[in-house]
């Protein structure tokens, strides 16, 4: 079998803008992108960094018709103590993106090579990355099938690109706990499907249920699955529950297991790892197991439900105040004067400490 070229950072071409933009509010999308193209006959072509611009695609391009698209969400940070630029566990994003692309017949790539290219782009755009805690450069690696065809089959060409935007704190004035609607009339993912992959096609069908929940006064959907109403994810985040054991009173941090329906979140994995390292010595149990909605309701009635939070790249952790289920409102352990529980606050502090270089940790990848 012919060996086709992988991504080669040594062939990087950089085209700088002739009209550099002024620093703008962090929420505005501004600057460049890095991209590289792939064909079934030539493999990955030389990568380029160029000014942010529109894509030009034929109306018959397969991504428009059959959803050949996957993406990642990650951030670059500036360390205040040495001004270094850092990525947070980028190897995990690369591994997940390769898994997503392979699942929908898009080409895979050398993850280390793409990390190097992302690093080069971050260095070019360093002025847009504030060192203030809570601020970062959001990075969106994306791959699309670009073959011009209405036939259904593996794409013969693809485009891998990364765009970026400076972002500020998810909660600029401090944590704001959210209210969830337990959703059983729509399903986010199912066994044998692609719920564990980061595909654009997984997100669009969730918008209508989210709008319905919003009309009823809720921030997000809590996705339930099956007759047992197992808790899966919340909105676009993984979900964690802090609960006390009914018999022993032992504190337990629980999240749904990776079973093909749960997205393998980088933040999820980080929360689990930090909990096993730092909470288990304090007597906590850390579990990846199924939890039913009625288990949550029962724990709340018995005073065993301590706190609930979502986890994801955007917010790191997002505290939950209430869950609406079967015409009852379940209080998730927060007092009226509280916006986040102790474990939620600890996780945010631990994670940000690593991301911004306050704590030197293997997860913090320093861009050379």
The CA dihedral of 273, 277, 283, 284, to the nearest 10 degrees, is: -10
97-125 exposure pattern, b = at least 16 Cβ within 10 A, e = fewer = bbebbeebebbebebebbbbbbbbbbeeb
DSSP letter assigned to residue 349? H
CA distance 302 to 324: 18
| 251 or 172, higher pLDDT | 251
Pairing outcome for strands 285-288 and 220-225: unpaired
Query: Tell me, what's the pLDDT at 30?
Result: 41
- Distance CA(2)–CA(21), nearest Å, equals 44
Query: So what's the pLDDT on residue 69?
Result: 98
Residue 147: its pLDDT value, please? 98
CB contact at 8 A, 156 and 45: no
Q: Which two tokens stand for residue 69?
A: 């698209």
Two structure tokens written together for 239: 């979900």
320-329 pLDDT, tens digit per residue, is 999 999 999 9
Backbone angles phi, psi at 185, to 5 degrees: -85, -10
Q: Round to whole Å and give the CA distance between 334 and 102.
A: 42
Summarize pLDDT for 124-161 with one digit per residue, the tens: 999 989 888 899 999 999 999 999 999 999 999 999 99
Paired with 37 in beta bridges are: 159
- Which residue do the tokens 């630029």 mark? 85
Predicted confidence band of residue 4 (pLDDT cuts 50, 70, 90): confident
pLDDT of 316 > 70? The answer is: yes
Which one, of 153, 159, 157, 160, lies nearest residue 41 by Cα?
Answer: 157
Q: Is the pLDDT of residue 63 over 50?
A: yes
Check residue 117 and give its pLDDT. 97
Helix (H, G, I), strand (E, B) or coil at 305: strand
Whether the per-residue pLDDT at 288 is higher than 80: the answer is yes
Taking the model in full, what pTM does it have?
0.93
pLDDT band at 25 (very low <50, low <70, confident <90, very high): low
pLDDT of residue 3: 79
Please give the residue that has the higher pLDDT: either 21 or 94. 94
End-to-end CA, the chain? 36
237: confidence class by pLDDT, cuts 50, 70, 90: very high
- Give, as one character, the DSSP assignment of residue 355: H
pLDDT confidence of residue 28: 46
Local confidence band at 73 (pLDDT 50, 70, 90 cut-offs) = very high
**The pLDDT value given to residue 31:** 43
For residue 32, what pLDDT band results from cuts at 50, 70 and 90?
Answer: low
Cβ atoms of residues 307 and 339 within 8 Å: no
pLDDT score for 343: 98
Using DSSP, state whether 231 is helix, strand or coil.
Answer: strand
Q: What is the pLDDT of residue 27?
A: 44
Predicted confidence (pLDDT) at residue 81 exceeds the cutoff of 70: yes
Q: Which pLDDT score, from 0 to 100, does residue 20 have?
A: 67
| Average of per-residue pLDDT across 182-192 | 96
What's the chain's average pLDDT? 94
Contact 129, 108 (CB under 8 A): no
Residue 3 contacts by C-beta under 8 Å, 6 or more apart in sequence?
none
Q: How far is CA 168 from CA 88, 123, 137, 172, in A?
A: 16, 19, 9, 7
Mean pLDDT of all residues in 217-239: 97
| Average pLDDT value for residue range 264-276 | 98
For residue 29, pLDDT beyond 60: no
State residue 164 phi and psi, 5-degree precision: -145, 155
- Is the pLDDT reported for residue 236 higher than 80? yes
Q: For strand 85-88 and strand 74-78, is the pairing parallel, antiparallel, or unpaired?
A: antiparallel
* pLDDT interval class at 300 (50, 70, 90): very high
């Amino acid at each position: 079998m012919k060996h086709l070229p992988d991504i080669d950072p040594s062939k990087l071409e950089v085209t700088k803008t002739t009209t550099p933009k002024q620093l703008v509010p962090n929420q505005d999308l501004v600057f460049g992108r890095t991209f590289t193209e792939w064909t079934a006959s030539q493999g990955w072509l030389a990568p380029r960094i160029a000014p942010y611009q529109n894509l030009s695609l034929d109306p018959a391009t397969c991504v428009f018709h059959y959803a050949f698209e996957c993406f990642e969400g990650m951030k670059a940070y500036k360390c205040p103590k040495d001004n270094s630029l850092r990525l947070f566990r980028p190897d995990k994003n690369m591994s997940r993106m390769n898994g997503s692309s392979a699942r929908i017949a898009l080409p895979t790539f050398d993850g280390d090579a793409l990390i190097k290219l992302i690093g080069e782009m971050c260095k070019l755009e360093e002025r847009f990355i504030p060192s203030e805690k809570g601020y970062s450069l959001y990075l969106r690696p994306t791959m699309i099938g670009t073959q011009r065809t209405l036939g259904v089959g593996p794409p013969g060409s693809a485009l891998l690109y990364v765009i970026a935007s400076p972002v500020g704190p998810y909660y600029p004035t401090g944590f704001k706990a959210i209210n969830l609607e337990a959703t059983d009339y729509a399903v986010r993912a199912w066994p044998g499907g692609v719920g564990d992959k980061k595909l654009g096609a997984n997100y669009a069908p969730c918008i209508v249920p989210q709008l319905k929940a919003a009309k009823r006064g809720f921030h997000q959907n809590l996705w339930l699955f099956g007759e047992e109403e197992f808790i899966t994810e919340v909105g676009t985040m993984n979900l964690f529950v802090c609960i006390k054991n009914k018999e022993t009173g032992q504190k337990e941090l629980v999240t749904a297991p990776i079973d093909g329906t749960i997205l393998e979140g980088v933040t999820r994995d980080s929360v689990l790892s930090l909990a096993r390292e730092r909470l288990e010595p304090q007597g906590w149990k850390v579990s990846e197991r199924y939890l039913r909605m009625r288990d949550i309701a029962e724990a709340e009635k018995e005073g065993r439900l301590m706190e609930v939070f979502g986890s994801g790249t955007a917010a790191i952790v997002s505290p939950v105040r209430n869950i609406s289920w079967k015409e009852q409102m379940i209080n998730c352990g927060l007092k009226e004067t509280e916006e986040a529980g102790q474990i939620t606050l600890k996780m945010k502090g631990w994670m940000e400490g690593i991301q911004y270089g306050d704590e030197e940790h293997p997860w913090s990848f320093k861009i050379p």
